[in-house]
Copies of this chain bind each other. A is one copy, B any other.
Amino acid sequence: MKIGVLGTGMVGSAIATRLAETGHDVRMGARQADNEKAKAWSASAGPRGSHGTFADAASFGEIVFSATRGDTALDALAAAGKDNLKGKVLVDVSNPLDFSKGAPPTLFTGSGDSLGERVQRAFPDARVVKALNTVNANLMGHPDRLGGESDAFLCGNDADAKGRVAALLREFGWKSVIDLGDIRSARGMEAYLLFWLAVSGAVKTSNFNVRIVR
């Protein structure tokens, strides 16, 4: 499948690399077409990797990952272009963390809204799925790097879109993908990061995840 990845940081690179490894054609998008990180990534990614602007990557992908920093996600998506996202599965991986007043951060959306919902409202013709924001970049594509099974979570308004993202997550190695319902559940998935940060401090690693125990 052709997949666009918006973002050249640790998260964008990890997802783009894993998608190429699992057999997809991946175009990494950046603000500028000659972005050095995107060039380096596509040079190392082999024949399945390419790079371009945000619009190039969005136009290329049947599925598009929004993997920029949370506070620039809507700008990057605007640069990607509404027409290039129309009807597409748009996977929102970003978190609305505001570190401007130091740690612990706040949620710049407040608790009654979410970045996932803001993306869906701004791009009503895209089929937004919130996913992978609850683990670090190292684990997103490699849940097997943990010492036991843990759970992936997703939410969104479009059942077909969620099914397609769940299939990608299974290719990444996720054996359990829990559907949390419509895009409003992005509030919970994003607020979870405040808990994640506290746990990370306590266990002294960001390489962890949760398993739901019933």
| A55 sits at the interface (CB 8 A) | no
A contact residues, total (Cβ < 8 Å): 43
A199 and B180 contacting across the interface, CB-CB below 8 Å: yes
A111 and B194 contacting across the interface, CB-CB below 8 Å: yes
Chain B nearest CB from A138 CB (Å) reads 12
Q: How many copies does the complex hold?
A: 2
DSSP majority for the A interface?
Answer: mixed
A203 and B199 contacting across the interface, CB-CB below 8 Å: no
A107 and B101 contacting across the interface, CB-CB below 8 Å: no
B198 and A194 contacting across the interface, CB-CB below 8 Å: no
Within A159-176, the residues touching B (CB, 8 Å) are none
Within A50-64, the residues touching B (CB, 8 Å) are none
| A interface residues (Cβ-Cβ under 8 A, vs B) | 101, 104, 106-107, 110-112, 146-150, 153, 155, 178-181, 184-185, 187-189, 191-192, 194-199, 201-203, 205, 207-214
